[in-house]
Amino acid sequence: MSPVVLAVLAARAVAGDPQFPLLAASIASAAVVGLLAPPASARPLAPVAALALLAALMLVLAAELVVMADLARSLGLTRFHGLVAAAVLALGVAAVPFGDRWWRLAAPVGALVVLVPLALVIASVGPPWIVWRDVASRPALTFDEHSAWVTHGRALPEGTRLTFDEPHRVTAATAATWRVVERDPVGRGDAQPVRIVVREWRLNPGDALTVRPGDQLSVEPEARVRFEAGRRVPGAPASGISWADGGRRRIRDILVAVGGTAVTLVGGGLALVAPAPMRGATVAIALTPALIVAFVLGATLWGLYGIALAPELSLVPRALAPVLEVVQRVDTPSWRAALAGLVTTALVVLFLGVVFAWRVRAGATLAGLAVAFRRPSMSTAATAGGTAAVVVLAAAVAWMRGDPWQLFTWGLGLAASAVVAPRLAAAGPRAELVGMAVGTGAFAAAALWIPHPALVAAPLAWLAGSCTWGERDASPKPPYAPGVGEAAARHERR
Amino acid sequence: MLAGGVALSITPFEIGTIRLAGVGLLWWYGLVAAPAVAVAVTAAALAWGARAPDTPE
């Protein structure tokens, strides 16, 4: 449960990703598999493996910071301010190594509270299955006449290029320079050549421009534009049926996408998610998996109600935009600000909970690293300093505008390839080191070429570990646990 | 669980797009049926682990 998961599920639901239900199922199953992981193995990770785990943790935190920065932009702040605020909050959690009992509640509380406004939206708009059926039966996803994009105009994000499927009269709400790329076919036949013409206009407020199918429009950053009511939203699925069913994909693509996502999420979850307490926590045992699945379902519903109430969301590809757009469309205007405030607060609490869990795992990894360098008693200040350094590095990565889902899956995939897969081989320290080196190298190389590098790197790491000669693990305990040794376990207990 | 979803995606005649109560079958499977089974199995496994006696290391 994290802001990244919420953001990606809502965004994919809005976009009508044909594999979306399988992605949601993968996320839910990976999280619950993480709960079932056995206790940490007593053998510490090799120093290089601990460094790889720290790099994975850094990427995961960077993804969360990108989402929080996008949230700030949706609230009218700058990306820089959002990123700095989120990084300061993360540093605060990293530097305050007490109150763990209360910090532990932050993620579940945030996940629950973010569902409360959704319940109000459901009560106001209708049950999800009715809304789904309504969206899926629309002949086209069009601008509503009451939309702010039609009435007052809104600013497109920087770098947006809109490609139109039908003639559309677009009006300038503020003075700006507009650029239209026209593609005119010359000749006949399927492979007809295209003549590309680029035109620029300086438009004043109220001036309009009619674009044709295939034209591509871009405007200055922060310039507001108004669209025509009843026309298709550029970039949105062509129709409700197209949104609901998606396009046909090749079997190989489906297998690679689902397999890659499952290996990445389950493997990374085993490395990064703390196992559930097995004794004396009956309520937690019953509620934790249910809360995870409710969160995944809730994130999906935010996207569903987003496409139902605001099809023009494809114009604002910011993380968490569906959540904030939906609460702005509730029937009672006086509730909108309160709901937006509630959602924002819940997201911040959820972020703090994620950072707390991250801090525990990063602290355990640092403690294991200290043991590997024969310094078993790592001070609290040193642990806080180490985690703070990783937070700063994550903020620097987040500043480079990466895709949060890619950063998130890279982090999980690296942990799966460099840490979990070599341990699965159960072939001893030497083999684990070889597997880690192969897994990390293969992951770095594959990340340049394919969208799911862990699908290649994790099996290679396991194979390298299994085939390496050396002293094998004698323990019958499953050795793929994420722990970094007794020092790490002591750190987590503390 | 995921294999069931993949099977629904690749079976002929686009079975995953069949509507049940207005909603696509693949959506029902991926967002309701599969997670419900996951929760049940996980809660049962955790409860079983909580009841099991301590075993020596």
Tokens of A276: 């559930």
Tokens of A168: 């559309």
> Is A51 in CB contact (< 8 Å) with chain B?
no
Residue A483 domain-assigned (yes or no): yes
Q: B57 to chain A: which residues are within 8 Å by CB?
A: 477
Do the Cβ atoms of B18 and A249 come closer than 8 Å?
no
Closest A-chain CA to B55: A477
| A213 and A266 housed in the same domain | no
**10-residue mean pLDDT series, chain A (494 residues):** 88 83 84 70 69 88 90 83 88 75 78 86 86 87 83 80 84 84 71 76 83 83 84 83 77 84 85 61 69 87 88 77 80 78 88 85 79 67 80 88 85 87 74 81 84 85 75 49 47 49
Residue A240 domain-assigned (yes or no): no
**Least CB–CB distance from A254: residue in B6, B21, B49:** B6
Number of domains in chain A: 2
pLDDT score recorded for residue A200 = 84
Residue A415 domain-assigned (yes or no): yes
- If residue B39 lies in a helix (H) or strand (E), which one and from where to where? helix B34-51
Residue A119 domain-assigned (yes or no): yes
Query: Nearest CA to CA, how far is B5 from chain A (Å)?
Result: 6
CB contact under 8 A, A286 and B49: no
pLDDT score recorded for residue A483 = 45
pLDDT score recorded for residue A187 = 66
- How many Å apart are CA A146 and CA A168, to the nearest integer? 17
| A12 and A68 housed in the same domain | yes
Residue A299 domain-assigned (yes or no): yes
pLDDT score recorded for residue A402 = 75
For residue B55, the SS3 value is: coil
Q: B50 to chain A: which residues are within 8 Å by CB?
A: 278-282, 285
pLDDT score recorded for residue A190 = 60
| A308 and A391 housed in the same domain | yes
φ and ψ at residue A163, rounded to 5 degrees: -110, 125
Provide the CATH number for the domain around residue A155. 2.60.120
CB contact under 8 A, B22 and A136: yes
Q: Tell me: the pLDDT tens digits for B3-52?
A: 888 888 888 777 877 888 888 888 899 888 888 888 888 778 877 766 66
pLDDT score recorded for residue A481 = 44
Residue A242 domain-assigned (yes or no): no
> Is B46 in CB contact (< 8 Å) with chain A?
yes
Nearest to A295 by CA among A38, A1, A36: A1
| A11 and A68 housed in the same domain | yes
- How many Å apart are CA A117 and CA A122, to the nearest integer? 9
Query: Nearest CA to CA, how far is B55 from chain A (Å)?
Result: 12
Residue A228 domain-assigned (yes or no): yes
| A41 and A178 housed in the same domain | no
Residue A34 domain-assigned (yes or no): yes
Tokens of A283: 């309520």
| A260 and A327 housed in the same domain | yes
Query: Nearest CA to CA, how far is A95 from chain B (Å)?
Result: 33
| A390 and A476 housed in the same domain | yes
| A171 and A265 housed in the same domain | no
Domain residues for the domain of A169 are 148-235
CB contact under 8 A, A245 and B27: no
| A117 and A159 housed in the same domain | no
| A14 and A163 housed in the same domain | no
ipTM: 0.83
What SS3 string covers chain A? CCHHHHHHHHHHHHHCCCCHHHHHHHHHHHHHHHHCCCCCCCCCCCHHHHHHHHHHHHHHHHHHHHHHHHHHHHCCCCHHHHHHHHHHHHHHHHHCCCCHHHHHHHHHHHHHHCCHHHHHHHHHHCCHHHHHHHHHCCCCCECCCCCHHHHCCEECCCCCCEECCCCEEEEECCCEEEEEEEEEECCCCCCCCEEEEEEEEEECCCCEEEECCCCEEEECCCCEEECCCCCECCCCCCCHHHHHHCCCCCHHHHHHHHHHHHHHHHHHHHHHCCCCCCCCCHHHHHHHHHHHHHHHHHHHHHHHHHHHHCHHHHHCCCCCHHHHHHHCCCCCHHHHHHHHHHHHHHHHHHHHHHHHHHHHHHHHHHHHHHHHCCCCCCCHHHHHHHHHHHHHHHHHHHHCCCCHHHHHHHHHHHHHHHHHHHHHCCCHHHHHHHHHHHHHHHHHHHHCCCCCCHHHHHHHHHHHHHHCCCCCCCCCCCCCCCCCCHHHHHHHHC
Name, in order, each residue with C-beta under 8 angstroms of A89's C-beta and a sequence gap of 6 or more: A348, A351, A352, A355
